[in-house]
Amino acid sequence: MLDLAIIGGGPAGLSAGLYATRGGLKNVVMFEKGMPGGQITSSSEIENYPGVAQVMDGISFMTPWSEQCMRFGLKHEMVGVEQVSKNADGTFTIKLEGGKSEMAKAVIVCTGSAPKKAGFKGEEEFFGRGVSTCATCDGFFYKNKEVAVLGGGDTALEEALYLANICSKIYLIHRRDTFRAAPSTVEKVKKNEKIELITNASVDEVYGDASGVLGVKLKLQNGERDLKVPGIFTFVGLNVRNEILKQDDGSFLCEMEAGGQVSVNLKMQTNIAGLFAAGDLRKDAPKQVICAAGDGAVAALSALSYIENLH
Ligand code: FAD
Ligand code: NAP
C-alpha cells in the first residue's frame, strides 16, 4: 500500500513529490508515463520563473526538479495510469497500463492539459519554432514584430490583446465571422488598432526553414492570402487530461467543471476525501509553471494532513 500516489510528473507532480517526501511520507510513487518535466520540456525557452534569471530550455530547467525530489525518496514509475477509483475502505486503486494496479491511501492527480491542435500543414513541424500555444511564454520573442493568432474563443481574443502590447501587429484569424469569446472582449479587440481581424478564414499552411516560421498561408472565402509573419499562436481550445478519473460507468470519480477541469478548493481537495488535483488540470488554472508548482506543494501539504488524520 502506497502512502501517496502522484499521477503526472510535470511541475505540479514534481512539487507535490518534493513536499510529500520532505514532509516525511516514506512510500510515495509518482506515476509519469514519460520522463518527468511535463509540457514545459517542449519549450525552447523559459524566462518567467521567479528567481531563475538565466533563460534556459524547458528540459534543462526541469531536470533539477526531479533530482531534488529523488534525493528525498520520491520514486518514479515510468508507466501510464489508466484509472483511479476509490475502494469501500477509503483507499484508492490505481490501474496501470499493462494490467497491473497499485493501492494508495491518498492520490494527487497532476495530469495537466494539452492544447488542441488546429490541424494545418506545418503545425507539428514548426511547433516551438514559430508555432506556439502560449503567449505569456513566447510573446516576448516577437517584440515589435507582426504575428498571427488563430481562434475565436476567449483565449484567442484575450491573448491577442496581450500580444498587442508587445508586438507591432496581430492578424487574428478566425474560421467564422462571429466570435465565441465574451462580447466585451470582442469589442476590445475590435477597438484595438494593432489587431486586424481576418474572419471566415482558415490556415492552410505554415511554412518556413531551419530558422523557423517565415509565413502563414490562409484560405479566405474569396481567395487566398500569404502573411509574412515569423510566428503564429494557436488557441483552438484545450484538452484537459482528465480521462483517468472516468469510472467504468462513464461518470467521473469526483466533481468536475463544465469544461472538464477538476473542481478543487484552495487546499486542492476534490469532493472525494483523500483525492487531490493540482496544476493545469484544476479549475481556474492560470496555466503557468509557477502556479502548477504552487498547487503541487499545497496539494502535498493537504495530503500529508489527510494521511496523518487517518491514524
Ligand atoms: P503538465 O506539465 O501538463 O504535466 C502533466 C504530466 O502528466 C505530463 O508529463 C504527462 O506526461 C503526465 N501524464 C498525463 N497523463 C498521464 C497518465 N495517464 N499517466 C501518467 N502520466 C500522465 N509556463 C510558464 O510558466 N512559462 C513558460 O515559459 C511556459 N512555456 C510553455 C511553452 C509551451 C510550448 C507549453 C506547451 C507550455 C508552456 N507553459 C509555460 C505552460 C506550463 O508548461 C504548464 O502550465 C505546466 O507545465 C503545467 O504543469 P502541470 O504539472 O499541471 O501539467
Ligand atoms: P474555445 O472556447 O473552445 O474556443 C476555441 C476557438 O478555436 C473557437 O473560436 C473555435 O472556432 C476555434 N477552433 C477550434 N478548432 C479549430 C480549428 N481546428 N481550426 C481553427 N479554429 C478552431 O477555447 P478557449 O478560447 O481556449 O476557451 C476554453 C474555455 O475557457 C471556454 O469555456 C472559455 O470561455 C473559457 N475561458 C474563459 C476566459 C474568461 O472568462 N476570461 C478566458 C479564457 C478562456 P468556433 O468558434 O468556430 O468553434
* Tens digit of each residue's pLDDT (9 = 90 or more) over 9-20: 999 999 999 999
CATH classification of the domain holding 161: 3.50.50.60
59 CA distance to ligand 1 middle (Å) = 12
pTM of the prediction?
0.82
Closest ligand relative to 295 C-alpha: 1
Name the residue among 54, 91, 77 with its Cα closest to residue 7. Answer: 77
Q: In the numeric block, which cell numbers belong to residue 166? A: 508587445
pLDDT band at 273 (very low <50, low <70, confident <90, very high): very high
Which is it for the CA torsion 140, 191, 227, 160, positive or negative? positive
Total domains, the chain: 2
Ligand 1 closest atom vs CA 286: 45
pLDDT at 119 > cutoff 90: yes
Contact between 226 and 220 under an 8 Å Cβ cutoff? The reply is: no
Ligand 2 closest atom vs CA 238: 26
280 CA distance to ligand 1 middle (Å) = 7
If asked whether residues 180 and 47 sit together in one domain, one would say: no
Name the domain boundary from 234, 260, 285: 234
Bridge partners of 204, per DSSP, are none
- Tell me, yes or no, whether 89 lies in a domain: yes
If asked whether residues 92 and 75 sit together in one domain, one would say: yes
Q: What is the pLDDT of residues 38-92, one digit of tens each?
A: 988 877 678 889 999 998 888 999 999 999 999 999 999 999 999 999 999 999 9
Mean pLDDT calculated for residue range 191-206: 98
Closest ligand relative to 78 C-alpha: 1
If asked whether residues 28 and 65 sit together in one domain, one would say: yes
- Tell me, yes or no, whether 148 lies in a domain: yes
Per residue, what are the HEC states of 123-142? CCCCECCCEECCHHHHHHHH
- 64 exposed, middle or buried (CB, 10 Å; 0-12, 13-18, 19+)? exposed
Q: What is the pLDDT of residue 287?
A: 87
- Tell me, yes or no, whether 124 lies in a domain: no
Q: In the numeric block, which cell numbers belong to residue 193? A: 488598432
If asked whether residues 195 and 261 sit together in one domain, one would say: no
pLDDT at 94 > cutoff 90: yes
Which domain does 76 fall in, by range? 2-115+238-308
If asked whether residues 183 and 48 sit together in one domain, one would say: no
If asked whether residues 100 and 17 sit together in one domain, one would say: yes
Residue 11 and residue 8: Cα distance in Å, rounded? Answer: 9
pLDDT band at 211 (very low <50, low <70, confident <90, very high): very high
Q: What is the pLDDT of residue 69?
A: 95
If asked whether residues 175 and 158 sit together in one domain, one would say: yes
Mean pLDDT calculated for residue range 233-237: 94
Residue 202 and residue 34: Cα distance in Å, rounded? Answer: 34
- Tell me, yes or no, whether 292 lies in a domain: yes
Bridge partners of 218, per DSSP, are 203, 225
Residue 166 and residue 195: Cα distance in Å, rounded? Answer: 12
- 177 exposed, middle or buried (CB, 10 Å; 0-12, 13-18, 19+)? exposed
Residue 20 and residue 4: Cα distance in Å, rounded? Answer: 8
Residue 5 and residue 291: Cα distance in Å, rounded? Answer: 21
- Tell me, yes or no, whether 65 lies in a domain: yes
Mean pLDDT calculated for residue range 191-200: 98
For the chain, what percent of residues have pLDDT higher than 90? 89
If asked whether residues 8 and 111 sit together in one domain, one would say: yes
Instruction: Tell me if 283 CB under 6 Å of ligand 2.
Output: no
Q: What is the pLDDT of residues 152-165, one digit of tens each?
A: 998 899 899 999 99
- Tell me, yes or no, whether 122 lies in a domain: no
Residues annotated as part of the active site: 134, 137-138
If asked whether residues 282 and 139 sit together in one domain, one would say: no
DSSP 88: T
Higher pLDDT, 286 or 217: 217
235 CA distance to ligand 2 middle (Å) = 7
Average pLDDT across the chain, whole number: 95
pLDDT at 95 > cutoff 90: yes
- Tell me, yes or no, whether 183 lies in a domain: yes
If asked whether residues 98 and 242 sit together in one domain, one would say: yes
If asked whether residues 13 and 84 sit together in one domain, one would say: yes
- Tell me, yes or no, whether 126 lies in a domain: no
pLDDT band at 136 (very low <50, low <70, confident <90, very high): confident
If asked whether residues 82 and 171 sit together in one domain, one would say: no
Name the domain boundary from 234, 252, 272: 234
